[in-house]
């Protein structure tokens, strides 16, 4: 059982001081560009005012500090080498459902959104449905005339398996096209809620375990490619811009690669960072919960390395999909007017601080995420040091799709559209200090047997100076 705690953590652009008792959860992230697509070679008076298409590519549990991005050549070719990399991107709660609801709504965990991955914790609960879900970036984009599509994992407790229960096929507001995974991440045997008419009608489609027809990452890419073709078809009378979210289950457990990617990285070992399988002396300086961890044994070490290997292999499919998406946008002559954001709902751990395989903690390997923005005509790589958060995605997309910088008061985040607006190889706009602190919080998945101050003494003999 996890202890429910919250923490306001002061952060620099590069490091965190890990001094407080805390466990965390991170979720997905999204970013975009300014309402205008502007090239550095175009003068201010010649700015093109066509609203951009927006495409969000979201992975699940992908780390940035432990090699999770290192073996994706298409991602590097199409996005990292041509876009803006935010090197200090974080999630405020490192677990799936709370982070994803923060991305969609722009709210901190304590402001009426999801607390954990359960319905009782408001993961797809009534409070979420009646409040924050009606005010996501998709709702505002649709109201602004955008055609919208979502494909993939939504919230962990979304949907159910009965076609007779309306709750099982409910389509969240704001999405013209819906292809939502029922429940948590998986790679085969998925149940999908499908709707093509803004949720007026919907159905459950159940899949098996055959490759390639039932391999969920491929299914999601195929759906996204189909939506791009439909939205850019010369036969449609509607030429409004589109907002598309593609939310892979990858590389979340069970870490299942496509058959062609199996064994691609046989023998790969997780990074043995300085804090990997931390010493007893180091562990005694940590909070009570971490002081309960025993050293990593041989079996756990093997599990960590196998997990690392399979995660890398599963991400090869995502990398292939990134290439297909860019190639189709080029074919449709839409790439120059499309903003593409690649990010994850949170990071991961692979033995750091004796934590085997999971997330939830305040440490940077859990809360720091990949965050790359490709902005249309941009052809030059750029790195930004500004701190951006998952709660900034919704207000940024709001500004991009509505053209208004007056962000809804319900959103806790801030729009960073201006950071993207003034890029394109011209970094003479001066430094912009976006923030130097933010909140990190984690509520937990249940009811612990003791409060923090009443937890039993450390069985390994340590004291409890942090019993607050």
Return the half-sphere exposure (C-beta side, CA atoms, 13 A cut-off) of residue 353: 23
SS3 state at 119 = coil
Active site residue 96: yes
Whether the CB-CB separation of 156 and 183 falls below 8 Å is answered with yes
Catalytic residue among 96, 97, 123, 221: 96
Measured in degrees and rounded to the nearest 5, phi and psi for residue 150 equal -130, 130
Tally Cβ neighbours within 10 Å of residue 354: 23
Measured in degrees and rounded to the nearest 5, phi and psi for residue 84 equal -105, 120
Judged by phi (left if over 0) then psi (alpha if -120 to 50, else beta), residue 289 lies in alpha
SS3 state at 56 = strand
SS3 state at 387 = strand
Per-residue tokens: 137: 């970036």
Per-residue tokens: 346: 């949170």
What distance in Å separates the CA atoms of residue 161 and residue 457, rounded to the nearest whole number? 44
Q: CB within 8 A of 76, min separation 6: which ones?
A: none
Strand bridging mode 203-206 / 191-195: antiparallel
Per-residue tokens: 441: 């919080």
User: Quick one: which of 229, 179, 27 has its CA closest to 113?
Assistant: 27
Could you give the residue numbers annotated as active site? 96
């Amino acid at each position: 059982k996890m202890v429910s705690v919250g923490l306001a953590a002061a952060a620099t652009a590069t490091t965190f001081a890990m001094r407080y008792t805390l466990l965390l959860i991170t979720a997905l992230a999204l970013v975009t560009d300014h309402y205008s697509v502007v090239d550095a070679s175009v003068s201010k008076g010649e700015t093109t005012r066509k609203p951009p298409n927006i495409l969000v590519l979201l992975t699940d549990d992908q780390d940035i500090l432990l090699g999770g991005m290192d073996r994706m050549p298409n991602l590097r070719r199409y996005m990292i080498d041509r876009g803006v990399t935010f090197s200090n991107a974080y999630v405020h709660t490192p677990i799936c459902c709370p982070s994803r609801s923060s991305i969609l709504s722009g709210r901190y965990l304590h402001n009426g959104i999801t607390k954990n991955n359960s319905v009782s914790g408001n993961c797809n609960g009534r409070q979420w449905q009646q409040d924050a879900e009606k005010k996501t970036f998709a709702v505002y984009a649709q109201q602004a005339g955008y055609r919208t599509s979502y494909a993939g994992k939504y919230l962990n407790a979304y949907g159910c398996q009965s076609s007779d229960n309306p709750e099982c096929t409910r389509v969240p507001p704001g999405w013209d096209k819906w292809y939502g995974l029922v429940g948590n991440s998986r790679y085969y045997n998925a149940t999908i809620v499908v709707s093509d008419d803004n949720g007026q009608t919907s159905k459950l489609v159940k899949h098996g375990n055959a490759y390639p027809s039932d391999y969920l990452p491929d299914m999601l890419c195929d759906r996204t490619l189909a939506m791009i073709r439909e939205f850019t078809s010369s036969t449609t009378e509607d030429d409004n811009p589109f907002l598309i979210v593609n939310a892979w289950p990858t590389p979340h457990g069970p870490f299942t690669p496509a058959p062609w990617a199996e064994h691609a990285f046989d023998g790969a070992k997780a990074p043995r960072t300085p804090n990997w399988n931390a010493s007893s002396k180091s562990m005694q300086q940590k909070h009570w919960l971490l002081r309960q961890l025993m050293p990593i044994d041989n079996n756990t070490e093997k599990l960590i390395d196998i997990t690392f290997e399979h995660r890398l292999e599963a991400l090869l499919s995502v990398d292939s999909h990134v290439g297909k998406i860019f190639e189709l946008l080029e074919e449709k002559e839409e790439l120059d007017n499309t903003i593409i954001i690649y990010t994850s709902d949170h990071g991961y751990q692979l033995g750091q601080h004796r934590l085997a395989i999971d997330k939830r903690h305040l440490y940077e390997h859990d809360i720091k995420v990949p965050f790359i923005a490709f902005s249309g005509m941009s052809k030059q790589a750029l790195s930004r040091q500004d701190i951006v958060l998952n709660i900034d995605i919704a207000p940024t997309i709001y500004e991009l799709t509505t053209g208004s910088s007056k962000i809804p008061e319900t959103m806790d985040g801030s729009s960073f559209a201006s950071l993207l607006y003034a890029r394109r190889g011209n970094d003479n706009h001066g430094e912009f200090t976006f923030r130097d602190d933010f909140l990190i919080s984690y509520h937990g998945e249940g009811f612990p047997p003791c409060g923090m101050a009443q937890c039993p003494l450390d069985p390994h003999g340590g004291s409890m100076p942090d019993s607050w």
